[in-house]
Amino acid sequence: MFCAFPPICPKQKDIYTVNSFSELNLSAPLLKAIAAEGYDKPTPIQARAIPELMKGRDLLGIAQTGTGKTAAFALPILERLSHATERVAKNSCKVLVLSPTRELASQIGESFKTYGRNLKITRAVVFGGVSIGKQIDILRGGVDVVVATPGRLVDLIERRALTLANVEVLVLDEVDQMLDLGFIHAIRKITGMLPKVRQNLFFSATMPKEISNLASGLLTNPVRVEVAPVATTVDRVNQSVIHVDQASKLKVLVDILKDNNMTRTLVFSRTKHGADKIMKGLSAAGYTASAIHGNKSQTNREKALAGFKAGKILVLVATDIAARGIDVDGVSHVINYDLPHVPESYVHRIGRTARAGAEGVAIAFCAGDERSLLKDIERTIRQSIPVVQHALGKSNLPPAEHEARRPNGRPSQPQGQKRQWNPMGRDGKPSGDNRPRKSSGGSNRPHGGTGAPKRNNGGPGAPKQSGGGKPSWMQEISGAKSDRRPVRMGE
Ligand code: AMP
């Protein structure tokens, strides 16, 4: 059967023969929890890592989110804890998981809760930006698992709320992100306080020299598990780019959101201010939208995420940092409203829509001054992203794409133009049924739809879905060229 999770790299393929969780020697309470989650079989990283971790080995995992890496480490840790006879001492923990962001920390905490639901395992998730008092209270009696961001953890240790003297297992998750965020000193400080004998798990999506040096200082004879490169995730996402002036981006977004297939859309903005502006624009157009970024309080972020997960919020606008660790299954579309300056961020962003083996759609907006960023991205993913045209953005097509539309030197306009739908009337005002209306009756989009593809009532000017489920505004101009050679981030 086709497995949509990225495979283990070819050299390790022979080892991947596990077809069910029951082959992994996990105990009944864990198997029950896994079954309740609906997991059919282990993902490649789980199949490879779990048996080695159950033997107590150290692990170097080169994998990004979306591969099932959280269960790959949480399950063997829970198995180990379930056999423990000694209670955890006061103000201490047996397992320490370090995460770069609060969102990822919460997510990991949730995973421990989910997989450990049939076990008596205690846990605490600690990060900055919220009251430290409550966290001190929780740690007082000791907990089995602490999931923490490095800064807050150091703070708690300095206040003597927690000692690391009893840590048996250390997990460093998304190490590359932790280093990007400047946590190297905190990490060195924390690892210096740990007992010498312990099991170490180290995960990073990329392995530049700085990170492999850190890994070799921490790990003892680790098993190395490398899941297939990020391009595999990229391949599962149906990508396109629209060339559009910066000033028209909001109008284009408002328009394309009329597609009822966009049931859960994540929009990426480069700046916090930009995220707020987009969110306000969408709200004014009648869409339920929220923004998450570093200036939002933790409560605010959690509320937005919960609303997005529950389908009450149709569009979540996020900055890159805030989006790390967002683990929401069923994100239908990712919109790159601004192109990221770091090409790898594009891969992380669009990977949000291809989680849990699903496929997704990613649409990038490219303004004139972002074309070099687009080129960098295409170089990184070794694919050219198909250009599609939107009526509100067509004047912004770069010369190369104009050429692509004119094979044989003749304008290809008649055929292509017919398939376009311009939601704006001749006078520039929205026309007919397509005019966004304020939502009513609990709907999260202005049309009063529920997310199911039930628009297109054929009214005048109504958007028609073109063949292959494409929305009417979408007219492909250039096809993707790709040598499909797998590419590793940071290569
Ligand atoms: P992660 O890479 O840990 O962030 O996991 C990505 C997503 O995959 C999460 O939504 C998990 O719930 C899901 N997942 C993890 N393991 C499996 C599995 N064996 N089968 C199906 N989904 C899984």
> Given ligand 1 and candidates 115, 173, 327, which is best to mutate, with the most ligand atoms within 8 Å of its CB?
327
pLDDT of residue 92: 98
- Tallying the residues shown for the chain, one arrives at 491
**Is 489 contained in some domain?**
no
CA-nearest of 58, 52, 153 to 97 is 153
Does one domain contain both 263 and 319?
A: yes
Beta strand pairing call for 289-292 and 315-318: parallel
Does one domain contain both 290 and 193?
A: no
Q: Which of 168, 203, 226 is the last residue of a domain?
A: 226
**Residue 301: pLDDT band with limits 50, 70, 90:** confident
Q: Which of 172, 195, 226 is the last residue of a domain?
A: 226
CA-closest residue to ligand 1 atom 21: 39
Residue 466, pLDDT above cutoff 80: no
List the single range of 94-98, 133-137, 171-175, 452-456 with lowest mean pLDDT: 452-456
**Is 95 contained in some domain?**
yes
403 or 271, which is more confident: 271
What is the number of other CB atoms lying within 10 angstroms of the CB of residue 379?
A: 12
R_g over Cα of the chain:
24
**What's the 67 CA to ligand 1 centre distance in angstroms?**
6
Beta strand pairing call for 143-148 and 123-126: parallel
**What's the 37 CA to ligand 1 centre distance in angstroms?**
9
Does one domain contain both 38 and 184?
A: yes
- Any idea which residue has 């026309």 for tokens? 431
Span 5-54, pLDDT tens digits: 555 554 444 345 678 999 999 999 999 999 998 888 898 899 999 999 99
**Is 491 contained in some domain?**
no
Does one domain contain both 244 and 384?
A: yes
Does one domain contain both 472 and 349?
A: yes
**What's the 356 CA to ligand 1 centre distance in angstroms?**
5
Question: By three-state DSSP, how is residue 265 classified?
Answer: strand
Does one domain contain both 294 and 184?
A: no
Distance CA 439, CA 232 (A): 38
- Any idea which residue has 């190369």 for tokens? 400
**φ, ψ at 282 (rounded to 5°):** -70, -40
pLDDT of residue 356: 61
Q: Which atom of ligand 1 is nearest to the CA of 41?
A: 19
Does one domain contain both 264 and 345?
A: yes
The residues lining ligand 1, judged by C-beta closer than 6 Å to any ligand atom, are: 39-40, 42-43, 46, 65-71, 327, 329, 355-356
Q: Which amino acid is at 270?
A: R
**Is 6 contained in some domain?**
no
**Is 9 contained in some domain?**
no
**What's the 207 CA to ligand 1 centre distance in angstroms?**
22
Does one domain contain both 316 and 348?
A: yes
**φ, ψ at 27 (rounded to 5°):** -80, 165
Contact 174, 202 (CB under 8 A): no
Does one domain contain both 469 and 330?
A: yes
| Structural domain total, the chain | 2
Domain at 344, CATH number: 3.40.50.300
Does one domain contain both 45 and 155?
A: yes
Residue 436, pLDDT above cutoff 70: no
Write out the DSSP string of 448-488. Answer: ---SSS------TT----BGGGB-TT-EEEE---B------
CA-closest residue to ligand 1 atom 20: 39
- Any idea which residue has 């597609």 for tokens? 259
Strand order of the sheet with strand 265-268? 289-292, 315-318, 265-268, 333-336, 360-366, 237-243, 387-389, 475-478
Helix 209-218 to helix 184-192 angle, to the nearest 10 degrees? 10
Span 344-359, pLDDT tens digits: 788 888 888 876 666 7
**Is 488 contained in some domain?**
no
Write out the DSSP string of 188-226. Answer: HHHHHTS-SS-EEEEEES---HHHHHHHHHH-SSPEEEE
Please write down the long-range contacts of 443-448, taking CB distance under 8 Å and 24 or more positions apart: 444/287, 444/288, 444/311, 444/312, 444/313, 444/314, 445/257, 445/258, 445/260, 445/286, 445/287, 445/288, 445/314, 446/285, 446/286, 446/287, 447/258, 447/260
**Is 245 contained in some domain?**
yes
Q: Which of 183, 198, 226 is the last residue of a domain?
A: 226
Chain centroid, CA 314 distance in Å: 17
Does one domain contain both 260 and 169?
A: no
pLDDT of residue 297: 78
Span 472-483, pLDDT tens digits: 656 655 544 443
Mean pLDDT score across all residues of the chain:
79
Distances (CA, A) of 288 to 157, 260, 334, 446, 447: 41, 14, 16, 8, 12
Distance CA 379, CA 119 (A): 47
**Is 490 contained in some domain?**
no
CA-nearest of 306, 325, 259 to 287 is 259
Q: For residue 297, what are the domain limits?
A: 237-478
Does one domain contain both 106 and 152?
A: yes
Q: Give the pTM.
A: 0.58
**What's the 314 CA to ligand 1 centre distance in angstroms?**
23
> Given ligand 1 and candidates 39, 69, 77, which is best to mutate, with the most ligand atoms within 8 Å of its CB?
39
DSSP 7: P
